[in-house]
Structure 1
Amino acid sequence: MSNEAAWWCAASAPVPATVEDLAAGLTALPDREIADLLLARPDLLAPPSSSFTMLAARAGARPSVETALADLNAAVLAVAEAVVATGVQDPGLLGPALLLSSDDVAAHLATLRRLALVLDSGPVAGLVEAVGPHPLGLAPAAAPQEGRPDAPPPPSLQTLHATARSAASQHANSQRAAAERPGPQQAAARDATPLEDTPVLSPAALAVLDALTWGPPTGTLREGGQAPGAASLVERGWLERTQDESGTTRFLLPRRVALALRGGRLLRRPPTAPDPAALPIQDPATTADQSSRAAEEAVRLVAALVDEWGREGGPILRTGGVGVRALARTADALGLEGAPAARVIELAAGAGLLGLDDAGATWVPSTQVPLWRTATLPERWAPLAVAWACSARAPWLVGTRGEDGALRAVLGDGLETARAGSLRRRILLLLDSLPEGAVVTPTWVYEALTWARPRRPVLDGDVTGVLDETEFLGITGGGALSRAGRLLARSVRHETLLSSDGEADPRLLGALERALEEDLAAPVGLLLVQSDLTAVVPGRPEPDLAALLDKAATVESRGSALAVRFTDESVRAALDSGWSAVELRQALERWTPTPLPSALTTLIEDVARHHGAVRVREVASVLRVPDPATAAGLLAEARLKGLGLDEVAPGVLLATAPAGQVLRELRAAGLSPVLEDTSGRLLLAGDAVTARRGGPGVEPVRPGAVTATRRHRHSARELAVLVGRLRAGERARRDPAVPAGAATDPVHALAVMRQAQSSRSRLRLRLAGPDGVVQERRVRVLAVEAGRVRLADVERETELTVAVHRVVSVEEE
């Protein structure tokens, strides 16, 4: 057994620091360090404590300790567990055992002391409770093993495995030697010892040690089960066998045995974060190109969504959210799968571009859409990015089931989760801490986040979902943080995403717009049209050309060049937007260096001839069909039965379906209908909502049930006042006027008050006010609740509710 292992075996668990120890330590600190503690552990600020003793009772209790531990990384937590397990606070001893440098251990110990989790006398009681009965996977420090107090400790687990392998190899060699040349060599090989003085354990016994050495150190034998390897270990004194109250057999690996098997180490591997140096570095130009193209595509998809839902909105289910059919229709219109379409919908709603109609039954474009449409690409992208960073929505959960078993729907309350907003901020801050151009993967990010906060685990699917969003939105490009993404991350770090009125900070919006503008490639105003109805823009198209192609063509590929194809549907969409056939040809010829191919002009003229042959007027709904043959064909078409068509007059048909559905299904049947208002005026694409409501668009409505809150940041002056009250309250608590038998610590005081409630006896209570002034009351206890007590003042004949931390002392009369 190594010296290190022997030393650790002799170490014992510390006695937890008492409330009095912590109160004395806090009282001795300067005001500045008390203020830093309150800032580092904000749960101790609300409500404020009346004295250092009350503060110590709260700071040392498990609930507050758990809150503090949740923000600590794996290395600091390992040091905290080592202190709880061994009672040692010497960095020179802890460093080698934890596979950390002494300087790192010293820094982590300083963090634990600064957070009032560890004192010179030992860890606080709440830390011991939070770590649990098996810190670092070790059994509790206890008396020597029953029955075998002098049993020698085993060698290291690595040595035992090496011995077993050597024995197996020698046995195989002896078998071969016996078969080839029997004689004295056979006996010598058989009698050879693999490693001198090292026992050879069976595979079953080694499996038991493998399972228990690094924790947890206990195992339970199932009813009727067997543990063939345990018997030899119990016989050697390396394993304890006991039974619990129910008669179940339990095995325990004693602490000194586990430490010997570990070779004196407390951890299997160093508690270090994933190394950023292992990440590939991407050229900044590549990041800028990919992120800016993604940003442009995100804006285009949001605009396409607004157009689609302007024609036919997203109806809300009775259970909340938009249904699967509407999502599938929207995905088909955007040319996406269901998950990316849900992401676009949630992004648009989060940015305030959607709202509910007058009936509150359908999501439609909001009043912000017209202004957003007329803005430049960077001006349209920036509010989307800020809305995403502030969002608590999880679109990647669409289609999964919640805790109640119900399917989560897009724009439904089931997608609202606080962990989504926290994870977005954590990932942005993590990416900002990496070298410029570092390309991350979901696995690396998951490991880094898990190391940073092991007690706040994240789901792998959540990490992938957020990283997909950053790539889709252009916050990252090719896995590396973009210029605009870094600005967004730093705004998250300094909590400057929103202004005082709760809207996106104008300065941040301006900075994001400039950053994206710098990354965007120079626009190209050239369209090369082929005779096969395809066209290519050799670069990023100018805004007017991009808007034209978005309406008149179908995109086939995006990248360093834009490839599109002209089809019947795309040309019809351009005519729906208000162009005539002549205007569309002229608009295309503006960007082409040569005349348009005859195939394209013929396509435009052919679509224009049939465009508007059917006109849809939304009442719910009226179709005007001047051609009797066309009207008869509509009534006879089996695919249109769901529209509820009926001829009420020559050339006039009624439909029970809304106008958007009528348009969609007529187009699917091969027709080219157009939409008109009540006066017969042709409506352009995107005007359907205004016509339907007879007025301006609806007000923005952001989905979800969680309201964003801004945490109050205490100023230096406020903290100084709080520290002053703590000192005044502590002086009052230690006032000689307090009777010697009075209960002053919170635990004792609560016990006295509960007993007084049961016996209906009277108490003399001393309370500290907000200003530190102590007053005395004679009371009866009516109820003791979580963190407070309800009292009846017998002298003033009034009732009062008092927070427990304001009780200075309590005694029976």
Structure 2
Amino acid sequence: MSTQHPGTGRPEPAPGTTVEQLAAHLTALPDRDVAALLLARPDLVAPPSASFTALAVRAGARTSVDAALRDLDAVTVAVAEATVALRSVDPATLAPSLGLSADDVAGRLGVLTRLALVIDTGPVPGLVDTFGPHPFGLGPAAADPPAAEQLPPPLSTLEQADEPVPGIGVLKALTWGPPVGTLSPGRSSAGTAELVERGWLERTADAAGRTRFVLPREVGLALRGGRLTREPLAPPATDPLEVLSADAVASESVSHAEEMVRLTRELLTEWGREGGQILRTGGVGVRALDRTAAALGLERAVAASVIELAAGAELLGLDESGAAWVPADTVPAWLDAELPEQWAALAAAWAGSARTPWLVGTRADDGALRPVLGADVEAAWAGRLRRRILALLDSLPAGTSVDADWVHAALTFARPRRPLPEGAVAAVLAEAQLLGLTGGGALSRAGRVLAACLRPNAGAPEASTPAGSTAADDAPADAVGHPDNHYGTLLAALEQALAADLPAPVDLLLVQSDLTAIVPGRPAPELGAALERSSEVESRGGALTVRFTPQSVRRALDSGWSATELTQALSRFSPTPLPSALTVLIADAARRHGAVRVREVASVLRVADPAVAAGIIADAALKDLGLDQVAPGVILSAAPAGVVLRELRAAGLAPVLENEHGRLLISERPGGGRRLPAPAPARPGNEHAVRRRRPGRRELAALVGRLRAGEEARRAAGGAGPMAATDPVHALALLRQAQASRARVRLRLAGPDGNVQERTVRVLAVEPGRVRLADLVRETELTVAVHRIVSVEAG
């Protein structure tokens, strides 16, 4: 026998409250409670309802109920589902079936009542519709309920019985849902006849002639031992989580923060030479991304994150033609700042970002690849997810290390009806580690500062945050970077937090004869700058290990240092004379440096040595540069100077850049060799950002006043039932409710000739743009376009 999710075996009246009862409940509420409801369920505000009856239609509709449930935790949602399954709002009845205390259930019912999802008469119609015909996997109530003594014992008892119970396999398949099984025509299932005879199963048949067995609700509860859930309603345990020392968290988080700032500087340097060219369809292409990843020594995904973070911190802008992303005019000030200030700008931008760089390279709905800095790499939920994760980590004891699986389980428990995109939790945690907001999986000091900034503002209305939700859920997507949220104060707090964890700088360099050097700690700013220009990092941690290579020394010479200046800069921090291997390396690199000079015309290469010029022209690896020798020692290229420099260096040469007068250009800063002024900063995807505005107290008071005036006017006009719904939102809500309750309604329809007809109908289906109806007077079925419906009211 196969199990499936069919419709109910027979129609049964939907349990719970009616629109009239909900309208009466809302009307009786004090103004403050009505305002709190509108604030907690913002979908009820726009468009505003004309009366409490119209508000009840919308508040009780499934669409609005689903939106309200998305901000509730698993326990509160389970209590809501239990009111539907057990048809009761009594805490003493619900508590045992959920394994909760009566006081806890009463508190959850209070939350549901304040949200107008459950009232004294029961759950609202939309709540019943949301959980479907089989809440908690239970079947419909029995047509002829068996007496208490005739109900089966718990399934575990039946399985341990001395004599096998006939049909126990069927009971095991149906107990925890789905509660309906189907047999194909001509097949049979052993023991089902005896189960039907005992009243433990009900037998029906569908239109295809298949036999259907339904496990009645009372029997299912008995087999479960009275429990509605198989597992306890509890968040994931924190006991297995490792707790790290404060020093370990600080050390690792600071290391990541320093590396993030360094990578951002490297990105700005690379894009200062050659920006990120924008594709015709938007965003920066894979070729530019791979070039950047190679220059930064990163995987493509990490490089995309660095690029997106730099853009979010307003360090990138569009060039004059709008064809490429290049360093913005904010870069010089950022480069002049101290490390904590540089890092704080990146961290604050990340927290308020709606960007999803981990989606770069995946396919969008239209099948196109998502490019970095493209419009498709943006989602409103991304910023909310970052804030939720920060709030969750902040709620744990200091030093608690988490992984993606635990965080995913905890967030799912906190919002079971708000599904998390696949891979998003792990990606956000990776971003937090990349930034240094976490160290070893635990929130850092600076991470806690950032999380604290995202908590609710003091003095906010009590009902503005539904139970089980966090400030991180309800804060606007751009809250962190908004002036009203004290952005400057946040930056200062982040700077102080990082500075407090930074170890004391070390100005000691231990250079070894194998061209490696060790800094026993965090290098002082001057030493760090010298090593960043002239060496390659081999390892980081308690000590910094670097290696000097021809390429790294050339990089120092490219930045404007001479061989003598570089030697003196390194000697200043070395307690012993530099090894001869290093001084020879520097001298040799200096002799070769500048043998080829590139002048940006687009482009001209001047080569003094004819043999070197011939080698460049003959090199097959350089054919894409479009090289052409126009005179002895003068070579033209169709590629920009930045591309020529990169390709020649990759070929083993050591070119330098010169201006139109033949003078050497020194690029000490990202973009220093650019001849055009730096553009203003820009953020990708800004046109897609949406900030949800919450109504203020005066606006809420006015809305409540209009609701009361509209309800009084409706009653004065003699309206005893729900007022006719005339706008599409109310009309569709009333039609869906009528479909769920199988109630009749009266429609006023606009005909093709403009005349209005009135029909008494039963709703068969509400589909996109149209409604299928059964006319009860004419005994016909018709399909009506939504735009033809003038009004809907209960029949």
Which is worse superposed, 615-624 or 235-244? Answer: 235-244
Quote the Cα distance in structure 2 between the aligned partners of 1:338 and 1:225: 57
* CA distance 1:719–1:355, change in 2 (3 Å): same
Partner of 1:37: 37
Instruction: Note the 1:183-582 alignment, pairs <5 A.
Output: 194=162, 199-200=164-165, 206-220=168-182, 238-494=200-456, 495=475, 497-498=479-480, 505-582=487-564
Instruction: Note the 1:616-695 alignment, pairs <5 A.
Output: 616-685=598-667, 689=671, 691-692=673-674, 694-695=675-676
Deviation per CA, 1:453-500: give whole Å up to 9, x if none. Answer: 111111341000000001110111111111211121122223594465
Counterpart code for 1:727 = R
Any conservation in 2 of the 1:310–1:686 contact (CA below 8 Å)? no
* CA distance 1:31–1:786, change in 2 (3 Å): farther
Deviation per CA, 1:79-101: give whole Å up to 9, x if none. Answer: 11111111122222211111111
Deviation per CA, 1:39-73: give whole Å up to 9, x if none. Answer: 11111122222221121111111111111011111
Superposition RMSD on alpha carbons, in Å?
3.2
Shift in Å, 1:362? 2.1
Partner of 1:46: 46
Partner of 2:154: 156
Quote the Cα distance in structure 2 between the aligned partners of 1:279 and 1:677: 59
TM-score after normalising by structure 1: 0.83
Counterpart selection for 2:689 from 695, 705, 708: 708
Instruction: Note the 1:158-173 alignment, pairs <5 A.
Output: 158-163=156-161
Quote the Cα distance in structure 2 between the aligned partners of 1:228 and 1:686: 84
* CA distance 1:349–1:688, change in 2 (3 Å): closer
Quote the Cα distance in structure 1 between the aligned partners of 2:181 and 2:543: 63
Quote the Cα distance in structure 1 between the aligned partners of 2:794 and 2:81: 38
Quote the Cα distance in structure 2 between the aligned partners of 1:811 and 1:287: 63
Partner of 1:754: 748
Any conservation in 1 of the 2:349–2:481 contact (CA below 8 Å)? no
The 3-state SS of whatever aligns with 1:734 is helix
Counterpart code for 2:526 = D
The 3-state SS of whatever aligns with 1:755 is strand
Any conservation in 2 of the 1:99–1:269 contact (CA below 8 Å)? no
Quote the Cα distance in structure 2 between the aligned partners of 1:233 and 1:684: 90
Quote the Cα distance in structure 2 between the aligned partners of 1:756 and 1:318: 47
Shift in Å, 1:247? 4.1
Which is worse superposed, 673-682 or 304-313? Answer: 673-682
Identity %: 61
The 3-state SS of whatever aligns with 1:727 is helix
Shift in Å, 1:137? 0.7
The 3-state SS of whatever aligns with 1:276 is coil
Any conservation in 1 of the 2:533–2:552 contact (CA below 8 Å)? yes
Counterpart code for 1:330 = T
Partner of 1:77: 77
Any conservation in 1 of the 2:15–2:128 contact (CA below 8 Å)? no
Which is worse superposed, 233-242 or 532-541? Answer: 233-242
Any conservation in 2 of the 1:733–1:744 contact (CA below 8 Å)? no
Between 1 and 2, higher relative CO (CA 8 Å, sep ≥ 6) is seen in 2
Any conservation in 1 of the 2:666–2:672 contact (CA below 8 Å)? no
Quote the Cα distance in structure 1 between the aligned partners of 2:446 and 2:622: 49
Counterpart code for 2:128 = V
Partner of 2:17: 17
Shift in Å, 1:404? 2.1
In our comparison, the structure showing a higher alpha carbon Rg is 1
Quote the Cα distance in structure 1 between the aligned partners of 2:257 and 2:593: 34
Which is worse superposed, 455-464 or 740-749? Answer: 740-749
Counterpart code for 1:263 = G
Any conservation in 1 of the 2:351–2:480 contact (CA below 8 Å)? no
Quote the Cα distance in structure 2 between the aligned partners of 1:227 and 1:558: 68
The 3-state SS of whatever aligns with 2:583 is helix
The 3-state SS of whatever aligns with 2:231 is coil
Deviation per CA, 1:516-573: give whole Å up to 9, x if none. Answer: 1111111111111111100001111111211111110000000011000000000001
* CA distance 1:206–1:299, change in 2 (3 Å): farther
Quote the Cα distance in structure 2 between the aligned partners of 1:644 and 1:526: 47
* CA distance 1:696–1:222, change in 2 (3 Å): farther
Counterpart code for 1:704 = G
Shift in Å, 1:258? 1.5
Counterpart code for 2:86 = T
Quote the Cα distance in structure 2 between the aligned partners of 1:230 and 1:347: 63
Quote the Cα distance in structure 2 between the aligned partners of 1:666 and 1:284: 48
Partner of 1:175: none
Aligned residues: 726
Shift in Å, 1:155? 2.8
Shift in Å, 1:742? 9.8
Quote the Cα distance in structure 2 between the aligned partners of 1:351 and 1:225: 67
Quote the Cα distance in structure 2 between the aligned partners of 1:87 and 1:434: 37
Any conservation in 2 of the 1:615–1:675 contact (CA below 8 Å)? yes
Shift in Å, 1:581? 0.4
* CA distance 1:237–1:739, change in 2 (3 Å): closer
Deviation per CA, 1:221-274: give whole Å up to 9, x if none. Answer: 579998678677567654445443344554432222311211111111222112
Quote the Cα distance in structure 2 between the aligned partners of 1:509 and 1:786: 52
Quote the Cα distance in structure 2 between the aligned partners of 1:282 and 1:304: 32
Quote the Cα distance in structure 1 between the aligned partners of 2:227 and 2:345: 52
* CA distance 1:500–1:562, change in 2 (3 Å): closer
* CA distance 1:527–1:355, change in 2 (3 Å): same
Partner of 2:471: none
* CA distance 1:430–1:227, change in 2 (3 Å): farther
Quote the Cα distance in structure 2 between the aligned partners of 1:318 and 1:93: 63
Which is worse superposed, 460-469 or 314-323? Answer: 314-323
TM-score after normalising by structure 2: 0.85
* CA distance 1:139–1:739, change in 2 (3 Å): closer
Quote the Cα distance in structure 2 between the aligned partners of 1:225 and 1:289: 68
Any conservation in 1 of the 2:454–2:480 contact (CA below 8 Å)? no
The 3-state SS of whatever aligns with 1:670 is coil
Shift in Å, 1:685? 3.2
Deviation per CA, 1:602-632: give whole Å up to 9, x if none. Answer: 0000000000100111222110111111111
Which is worse superposed, 493-502 or 616-625? Answer: 493-502
The 3-state SS of whatever aligns with 1:535 is strand
Partner of 2:133: 133
Any conservation in 2 of the 1:535–1:564 contact (CA below 8 Å)? yes
Quote the Cα distance in structure 1 between the aligned partners of 2:177 and 2:793: 45
